[in-house]
Structure 1
């Protein structure tokens, strides 16, 4: 995924609108959280994994059993999987990469 992100930011490096990159970056991370949610198929697994990531037991159980879809729950997983989690995995951040290409 990183080569695609780097290539697209190289192609659009002269873009003037910063908000678009921030929104796209947030969308990508939310989609990855959504994929994690789908991998944890059972509510018990979701509860256990969310507790492992630092959520308290009540909040983790409430999130695991709310019956809503993965996209809705991905926004709530932001506390368990913040941006720095994906940064430690090596995922490229679009706004940060764009700043490296600036010719100020």
Structure 2
């Protein structure tokens, strides 16, 4: 994977990540722990939000991207200049509203929980 996700679009990062997630899930398909898979799904999406936040680099870009993703202007501005780090911002409500799980599903990100359910039904 690319260092910190820079220089590669989110779509290409997801494209490179999907075979790894599928392979990992096929290896652990007989696991019974759903909560661990849910936690991993949440962590992967959080990490992708970190990559997006870092790619946006400047407050002006962050504000315009957040506004384009449906965050109101004042909240987008406050979020873009809050001075907190990428990990904090990726977990904050402004990023989870702008980039919800459905956003990543539309981009083609594999859900470990869904894949696990499909594998359990097929065996």
Shorter-chain TM-score tier: over 0.9
How many angstroms apart in 2 are the aligned matches of 1:35 and 1:51? 18
Q: Aligned pair 1:89/2:113, yes or no?
A: no
Residues 26-77 of structure 1: CA distance to partner in whole angstroms, max 9, x if unpaired?
0000000000000011101100100000000111111100000000000120
Give the aligned length: 104
**Greater relative contact order (Cα < 8 A, sep 6+):** 1
Over the aligned positions, Cα root-mean-square deviation in angstroms equals 1.0
- Structure 2 unaligned runs (5+)? 1-16
**TM-score, normalised via structure 1 length:** 0.97
**TM-score, normalised via structure 2 length:** 0.82
Structure 1 stretches (4+) deviating beyond 2 angstroms? none
The aligned counterpart of 2:14 is: none
- Structure 1 unaligned runs (5+)? none
Higher helix share: 2
